[in-house]
Amino acid sequence: MITQEQTLHDESDPPRSEAAEALAVTATFVALASVGASFVFPVFVPFILAPVAIVLAIISKGRSFKLSQTGRRAVTFALICIGVNIAVLALTLRSAFSLMSDPAYHAQLNQMTENMYGYTFDDMLRIIDESYGTNLTEMLGAEVQEPLAGNEAEGSL
């Protein structure tokens, strides 16, 4: 059975090497880049950069069991960045769903996509549902078509 002593485990915190500090600094830069990217390219770029910053900061611990000050800063920035971007994503999706359930907006969207592509937005959802077995029509409330139906009725008169 392998034991603690045979795994280079040392209770004392060994001095950090230059390589470890350089890696921690790199992790901080990547974390800062992810924070900056949150303003320019939200969600996608920060979701790539922030986890990379965390992993680099963890590796920068080297033989030590604690993160250095710089590494801790990198992890903090990256975690804040991930949290903020998850919140942004959640709010965006929530807004999209709530807008889709607004009959006036839904009718406008249907009209717009029909003008652009020749299909209404609801048709597109139905095609996707039929092709991939998804349930987007129900999820996005595509049945709400009263205003559009009203417009068609007015047009036919």
Partner 1 sequence: MNTTDNRYSRPDANRSVHPDRGVYFLHRVSTGIKAGARFSLLTHLGTACGANVVCAAAAFLLTTLFGGSVYGSDLAGLLLSFVIEWLVAVFIGILEYGRVCLYMNMQYAQPVLMQDLFCGFRENTNQIIQCEAVAAGIRVLLLVPGALAALLLPDGMAARTPLVILLYAAGLCGVIYSRLVFALRYYLLLDYPGSSAADVLKKSARLMKGNRILLFYIHLSFVPLSALGLLSFGIANLWITAYRCASDAAFYRGLMASRQ
* Residues making contact with partner 1 (CB under 8 A): 1-10, 17, 19-20, 23, 47-52, 54-56, 58-65, 82
Among residues 86 and 127, whose Cβ is nearest to partner 1? 86
CB of 88 to partner 1, least distance (A): 14
CA atoms within 13 A on the CB side of 66: 7
CB of 157 to partner 1, least distance (A): 52
Among residues 12 and 156, whose Cβ is nearest to partner 1? 12
Among residues 64 and 76, whose Cβ is nearest to partner 1? 64
Among residues 54 and 142, whose Cβ is nearest to partner 1? 54
CB of 95 to partner 1, least distance (A): 22
CB of 100 to partner 1, least distance (A): 26
Cβ-based neighbours of 30, under 8 Å, separated by 6 or more:
49, 52, 53, 56, 74, 78
